[in-house]
Chains A and B, each alone.
Chain A
Amino acid sequence: MTALKITKRAKIAGLASMALAVTSLTVVFASHSALASTSPHGYKPPTTAPATSTTTGTTTTTPAPTCTCQETPTPTPTTVAPTTVPPTTPAPTSAAPAPVAVTGNLPVTG
């Protein structure tokens, strides 16, 4: 009699535990479903591909400094081969000629 009672109580307890477990699973599933429907990038359970999820977020929200640097060409020193040009001012220059008067007139401000 006592053993029967104990068995019944155990069954009841087991059923209760199972019910509680089912309820918990339902809540977990529902929460996952909700996340999946609201996330802009589509929610993926962490167990499927956590690395991909992280990478996607980083790429879209944070400018990658490396890319920016690569877009700006690094100035490379322009090496112009030394070109020999004539000296700017030839050292000795001959004297300018004396003027020759030209017949003509310009009405200067006398």
Chain B
Amino acid sequence: MRRAAAGATPAAAAAALVAVSLSGCGGPQAGTAAQQYVVPPVSVSAAQAGKLPQATTYTTIKGAPADPARFATTSGLVVHPLAAQIVYAGPGKAPIAVLPATELGAPTWVPVVQTGPGWDQVLLPSRPDHITGWIYTAGAAKLDTRHTSYLLRVNLGTHQLSVYNDGKLLGQWTVAIGAPATPTPTGRTFLLALLAPADPTYSPLIVPLGTHSNALSTYGGGPGTVGIHGWPDPSVFGQSVSNGCVRVPSTALHLVSTIPLGSLVVIS
């Protein structure tokens, strides 16, 4: 569904209010309506917004709050900004970034890890890994808020990728993960995009995640983004051989390519 949200203008700031009782990690919860007072956002001018970094896989954002629960699952709520949204360090706190409406040529979808009255805390795809930001949802700008029932789990110890839908296991595959010198980063992240390289070499599809290699600050000219993709040589599956990416069999890649962006990926 679409819901109105305010970007940078706290017009209703004066009217609003205090005391947010945030829901716990693991997903949004409906609070008691009588206690839902909305903290207004800090006013951000267009000039100030223009100086904020874009929350993309290419950027580094300073002052962003860390993921409050790095291995927890969420309720499945995901949001897509229909227009660029200011991202704040917290309700009523400083702006830290701008979440663009598109990432890598496709609509931006980010998972919500916590909600409060008028605010959503979302995972961000930027460096450093495991950062979040807060989006004001009670104003005038627009967000598309949806739900995904999919969950991907990567078990580094067993080299297993498991895909769930509504808690039901859809499939499990043995995959290749990062080599000891370039390990696959752990924690929860999300499906950032679905790319079809014009001239594919090792995989027809690439699914970048909202996380990066801790060992490689750049890779092949990119920002060291970790992704899920196929691999032509099946002998790698079950091995720790990649530069951090998760190499999966073609059947797994096909399924992953149908899962909504923003869906959670928990790597442990």
B198/A103 in contact, CB under 8 A: yes
Say whether B146 contacts A108, CB under 8 Å: no
- In the bound complex, what is the Cα–Cα distance between A93 and B137 (angstroms)? 15
B242 at the interface (CB under 8 A from A): yes
Is B208 an interface residue when CB atoms closer than 8 A count as contact? yes
- Whether B90 is near chain A, meaning CB under 8 Å from some CB there, is no
Quick check: is B250 within 8 A (CB to CB) of the other chain?
Answer: no
Interface 1/0 per residue, A76-92 and B, CB below 8 Å: 00101011111111110
Bound-state Cα–Cα, A8 to B73, Å: 123
Main DSSP-derived SS at the B contact region: loop
Q: Tell which of B18, B222, B263 touches A96, judged by Cβ atoms closer than 8 Å.
A: B263
Assess A84 versus B33: contact at CB under 8 Å? Given A96-B148, A110-B202, A110-B229.
Answer: yes
Known A-B contacts A93-B145, A101-B196, A104-B104; the reply to A109 vs B37 at CB < 8 A is: no
Cα separation A109 to B195 with both chains bound (whole Å): 14
A102 is an interface residue with CB less than 8 A from chain B: yes
Contact of B106 among A83, A84, A99 (CB under 8 A): A99
A39 to B258, CA, bound (A): 95
What is the bound-complex CA distance between A110 and B198, given in angstroms? 17
Q: Is the CB of B225 within 8 A of A105?
A: no
Hey, which chain B residues are within 8 Å of A27, CB to CB? Answer: none
Assess the A102–B106 pair: CB atoms within 8 A.
Answer: yes
Task: Report whether A88 and B28 are in contact in the complex, using a CB–CB cutoff of 8 Å.
Answer: yes
- Which stretch from B43-51, B60-68, B112-120, B167-175 is at the chain A interface? B112-120
Q: Which residues of B contact A65 (CB under 8 A)?
A: none
Question: Whole-angstrom distance between the alpha carbons of A84 and B118 in the complex?
Answer: 12
| Contact, CB under 8 Å: B242 / A97 | no
Question: Which of these, A82, A85, A104, A107, contacts B220 with CB under 8 Å?
Answer: A107
Q: In the complex where A88-B23, A89-B77 touch, is A95 in contact with B213 (Cβ < 8 A)?
A: no
Residue of A85, A102, A110 touching B195 (CB-CB under 8 A): A102
Q: How far is the CB of A43 from chain B (nearest CB, A)?
A: 59
B-side contacts of A103, CB under 8 Å: 105, 195-198
Check if A90 sits within 8 Å of B1, measured CB to CB. Answer: yes
**For A82, A83, A106, which residue has the most chain B Cβ atoms within 10 angstroms?**
A106
In the bound complex, residues from chain B placing their C-beta under 8 Å from that of A85 are 33, 36-38, 117-118, 138
Verify A109–B194 contact, CB threshold 8 A.
no
Q: Is the CB of A88 within 8 A of B116?
A: yes
Q: How far, in angstroms, from A103 to B202 measured CA to CA in the complex?
A: 15
Judge if B96 is at the interface, Cβ distance under 8 Å.
no
A88 to B134, CA, bound (A): 14
Q: Indicate if the CB atoms of A104 and B260 lie closer than 8 Å.
A: no
Could you tell me which residues of chain B, from 94 to 136, have a CB within 8 Å of some CB in chain A? 104-106, 109, 115-118
Which of A94, A96, A102, A107 interacts with B219 by CB under 8 Å?
A107
Contacting residues, chain B, for A94 (C-beta < 8 A): 1, 146-147
A82 to B, closest residue via Cβ: B34
Report which residue of B33, B34, B198, B245 has the largest number of chain A beta carbons within 10 angstroms of its beta carbon.
B33
What would 13 more interface pairs be, CB under 8 Å, given A90-B1, A99-B194, A109-B226? A83-B17, A85-B36, A88-B117, A93-B146, A94-B1, A96-B146, A96-B147, A105-B197, A105-B206, A106-B227, A108-B206, A109-B243, A110-B219
B contacts, CB < 8 Å to A: 1, 3, 15-18, 23, 28-31, 33-34, 36-38, 57, 77-78, 104-106, 109, 115-118, 138, 145-149, 178, 182, 191, 193-198, 202, 205-206, 208, 213, 216, 219-222, 224-227, 229, 242-245, 247, 257-263
